[in-house]
Amino acid sequence: MATLRKAVLGLALLATVALSFLDGPLLAPPSDGLPVRKLSDGRPPAQPAAAGPGALVPAMAATATARNTREAYGHADADLFAVRNWQPVAPAPAPLVAAAPVAPPLPFRYLGKMLNDGQVMAFVAQDSRTLLLRQGDVVANYQVVDITTDHMTLLYVPLNQTQQLPFGSAH
């Protein structure tokens, strides 16, 4: 029984070696170099119709793309370790639109008011100076437009903008 077994294994070995050296249609690869798949009944699957001469089927196209990629990185001058940025490119910033100029904050602080000959006058502080202002006075680019019992309206002359200085409720 052991000799029969050795004989069968030896014949299988010889057949394998002989088939490996055989260069005939039985073992010839397909013309495109891709392995042929077969259905469960042994038939090859139907191939899609080519669009024209030299058209690639999807499997061949994928193989060709992979080869092109490998060839691109296969050159000695390709830098495989180059730094690459995969972040999306930020859109260009919108052009800056200049904002309309605004008058600076009032440099005055309300101190008090007084009534003189029916005209209201206001005492204000500017830095360390105390000023007595009447309607029409001009001080530090500001013109006094109006003084009422609860606020003073000032015009910033360079920009022609009005501002109000409220009077405190205690005064």
User: Is this model's pTM higher than 0.85 or not?
Assistant: no
Q: 130 — alpha (psi -120 to 50), left (phi > 0) or beta?
A: beta
Judged against a pLDDT cut of 70, whether residue 127 lies above it is answered with yes
**pLDDT tens digits, 81-116:** 888 888 888 888 888 888 889 999 999 999 998 988
Instruction: Select from 7, 9, 25 the least CA-distant residue to 17.
Output: 9
AA identity, residue 61? A
CA atoms within 13 A on the CB side of 92: 3
Segment 34-62 shows an average pLDDT of 57
d(CA 84, CA 99): 39
d(CA 68, CA 31): 20
